[in-house]
């Protein structure tokens, strides 16, 4: 829609300079767009422009404020209806993944369209059609709106990652945790990432610490394909992707190798503690992720870690713990960092 109002007229050759000056003076009317004809640009302005500018009356397009997804969703389905969607959707690159709650199933196509409209960078929307499945922890997805494409590129902590949301596990919800861990790594360390996926932990550590050697082990061949591609994409000569079982790698090729181990397998990493102790050098730090009950789950887990250490002839010192993200009312994902050392009483 066009509306008439005051605008500064300037020769096209001077247009950008005039715009910058008026912006610096805080005089631009942000509710209307800049217009132009063959010779002039018209910058919409508020009252009281210095005399040196030529002010005319001009019809200019109004700038419509783009509504975000939250606003659109609440407007259409109310706070209550929107709540379940807003807490469960993720954006990975230009793809949105959404879980449509039971109550909105009949409107799921509309939810998809609102996502496309409200999330500026989203070009494709997929809905969750089940939980994470199998060893590879891949979520079954069904196309909901926009392009029917599931491969995307995502940037996190300065690292570019290509991945296919239908073929591999990926969650942007651990980005802050990856940032914390990469900040702990010291140059020259050997870092072993078990359950590496398309490589977020390994790539981000490798980029932040060029003199650390980082190895990621992953069982899903599709994830390894992207992991390798991502190493090249980010030109990282200090990161290696290994296709295989974490236990075999930790007890075999990487036995006694690691100064630091990340274990991001929140459903069952404790099965691999023995292998992690094999890979750990004395003093090795382990970042261990697990879903636990909010009530007492942390202590139960620590006891399991102590027992596994004892079995491996090691001792552990717990140095950090926190909730990484909420999972359900009763459970949360946590990280526990511990240091390992040879037991005095083997
Ligand atoms: C929760 S995902 C974490 C992926 C990645 N670290 C991330 O944060 O995006 C767990 C990954 O472990 C892999 N995985 C499961 N069992 C494994 C095993 N025995 N050895 C190596 N990788 C395994 C799965 O394929 C999956 O990619």
Going from the Cα of 138 to the center of ligand 1, the distance in angstroms, rounded, reads 10
Look at residue 270 in the predicted model and tell me its pLDDT. 94
**Concatenated DSSP letters of 200-243:** HHHHHHHHH-TTSEEEEEES-HHHHHHHHHHHHHTT-TTEEEEE
Same domain? For 160 and 111 the reply is no
Look at residue 346 in the predicted model and tell me its pLDDT. 58
Report which protein residue has its CA nearest ligand 1's atom 5: 197
pLDDT tens-digit map of 264-274 = 999 899 999 99
Q: Is 219 in the pocket of ligand 1 (CB under 6 A)?
A: yes
Q: What is the mean pLDDT of residues 312-330?
A: 94
Question: What's the total number of domains in the chain?
Answer: 3
Please, what is the end-to-end C-alpha distance for the chain in angstroms? 80
Position 98 pLDDT exceeds 70: yes
Same domain? For 184 and 275 the reply is yes
99 contacts 128 by C-beta, under 8 angstroms: yes
Give the whole-number percent of the chain exceeding pLDDT 70.
99
Going from the Cα of 250 to the center of ligand 1, the distance in angstroms, rounded, reads 14
Position 188 pLDDT exceeds 90: yes
Same domain? For 82 and 98 the reply is yes
Q: What is the mean pLDDT of residues 111-136?
A: 92
Domain span holding position 315: 155-342
Separation between Cα atoms, residue 185 and residue 182, nearest integer Å: 5
Domain boundary (149, 170, 196) is at 149
Look at residue 345 in the predicted model and tell me its pLDDT. 64
Domain boundary (127, 149, 171) is at 149
Domain boundary (149, 180, 206) is at 149
Give Cβ neighbours of residue 202 (< 8 Å, ≥ 6 apart). 191, 193, 196, 214, 215, 216, 227, 239, 241
Look at residue 132 in the predicted model and tell me its pLDDT. 82
Same domain? For 129 and 161 the reply is no
Same domain? For 183 and 282 the reply is yes
Residue 92 belongs to a domain with what CATH number? 3.30.300.110
Range list of H helices, the chain: 15-24, 69-86, 108-118, 175-184, 200-208, 221-233, 246-251, 273-279, 297-311
Same domain? For 201 and 271 the reply is yes
Which of 139, 194, 265, 274 for mutating ligand 1's site (highest number of atoms within 8 Å of CB)? 265
Please report the atom of ligand 1 found closest to the CA of residue 289: 1
Question: Per-residue confidence at 162, pLDDT binned at 50, 70, 90?
Answer: very high
Going from the Cα of 48 to the center of ligand 1, the distance in angstroms, rounded, reads 62
Separation between Cα atoms, residue 265 and residue 149, nearest integer Å: 27
Same domain? For 95 and 175 the reply is no
The two structure tokens encoding residue 75: 């407007």
Same domain? For 216 and 289 the reply is yes
Same domain? For 215 and 278 the reply is yes
Same domain? For 74 and 54 the reply is no
Look at residue 31 in the predicted model and tell me its pLDDT. 87
Of residues 200, 197, 168, the one with CA closest to residue 181: 200
Supply the angle between the helices 69-86 and 108-118 in degrees, to the nearest 10.
Answer: 130
Residue 265 belongs to a domain with what CATH number? 3.40.50.150
Position 47 pLDDT exceeds 80: no
Lowest mean pLDDT, pick from 27-41, 59-73, 163-177, 310-324: 59-73
Lowest mean pLDDT, pick from 27-41, 154-168, 299-313, 332-346: 332-346
Residue 35 belongs to a domain with what CATH number? 3.30.70.2580
pLDDT tens-digit map of 133-142 = 889 999 999 9
pLDDT tens-digit map of 198-252 = 999 999 999 999 999 999 999 999 999 999 999 999 999 999 999 999 999 999 9
Q: What is the mean pLDDT of residues 25-37?
A: 91
Q: Is 196 in the pocket of ligand 1 (CB under 6 A)?
A: yes
Report which protein residue has its CA nearest ligand 1's atom 27: 197
- Residue that wins the pLDDT comparison between 67 and 124: 124
Position 168 pLDDT exceeds 80: yes
Please report the atom of ligand 1 found closest to the CA of residue 272: 19
Same domain? For 276 and 319 the reply is yes
Question: Per-residue confidence at 189, pLDDT binned at 50, 70, 90?
Answer: very high
Same domain? For 144 and 242 the reply is no
The whole-chain average pLDDT of the chain stands at 94
Q: Is 276 in the pocket of ligand 1 (CB under 6 A)?
A: no
Going from the Cα of 197 to the center of ligand 1, the distance in angstroms, rounded, reads 5
Kindly state the DSSP code that residue 173 receives in the 8-state scheme.
Answer: G
Sheet holding 35-36: strands in order across? 35-36, 40-44, 2-11, 54-61
């Amino acid at each position: 829609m066009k509306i008439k109002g005051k605008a500064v007229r300037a020769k096209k050759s001077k247009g950008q300079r005039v715009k910058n000056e008026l912006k610096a003076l805080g005089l631009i009317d942000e509710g209307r767009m800049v217009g132009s004809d063959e010779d002039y640009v018209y910058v919409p302005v508020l009252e009281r422009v210095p005399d040196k500018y030529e002010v005319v009356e001009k019809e200019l397009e109004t700038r419509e404020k783009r509504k975000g997804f939250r606003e659109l969703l609440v407007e259409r389905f109310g706070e209550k209806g929107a709540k379940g969607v807003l807490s469960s959707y993720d954006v990975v690159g230009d793809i949105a993944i959404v879980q449509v709650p039971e109550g909105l199933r009949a409107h799921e196509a509309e939810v998809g369209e609102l996502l496309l409209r409200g999330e500026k960078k989203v070009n494709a929307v997929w809905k969750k059609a089940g939980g994470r499945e199998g060893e590879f922890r891949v979520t079954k997805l069904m196309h909901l709106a926009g392009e029917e494409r599931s491969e995307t590129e995502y940037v996190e902590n300065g690292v570019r990652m290509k991945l296919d949301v239908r073929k591999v596990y990926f969650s942007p919800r651990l980005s802050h945790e990856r940032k914390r861990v990469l900040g702990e790594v010291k140059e020259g360390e050997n870092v072993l990432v078990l359950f590496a996926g398309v490589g977020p932990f390994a790539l981000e550590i490798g980029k932040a610490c060029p003199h650390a050697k980082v190895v990621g082990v992953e069982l899903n061949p599709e994830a390894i394909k992207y992991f390798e591609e991502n190493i090249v994409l980010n030109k990282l000569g200090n990161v290696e992707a290994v296709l295989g079982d974490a236990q075999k790698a930790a007890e075999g090729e990487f036995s006694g190798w690691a100064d630091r181990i990340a274990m991001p397998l929140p459903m069952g990493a404790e099965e691999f503690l023995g292998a992690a102790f094999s890979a750990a050098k004395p003093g090795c730090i382990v970042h261990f992720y697990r879903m636990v009950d909010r009530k007492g789950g942390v202590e139960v887990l620590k006891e399991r870690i102590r027992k596994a250490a004892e079995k491996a002839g090691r001792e552990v010192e717990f140095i950090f713990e926190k909730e990484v993200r909420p999972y359900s009312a009763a459970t949360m994902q946590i990280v526990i960092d511990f240091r390992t050392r040879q037991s005095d009483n083997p």
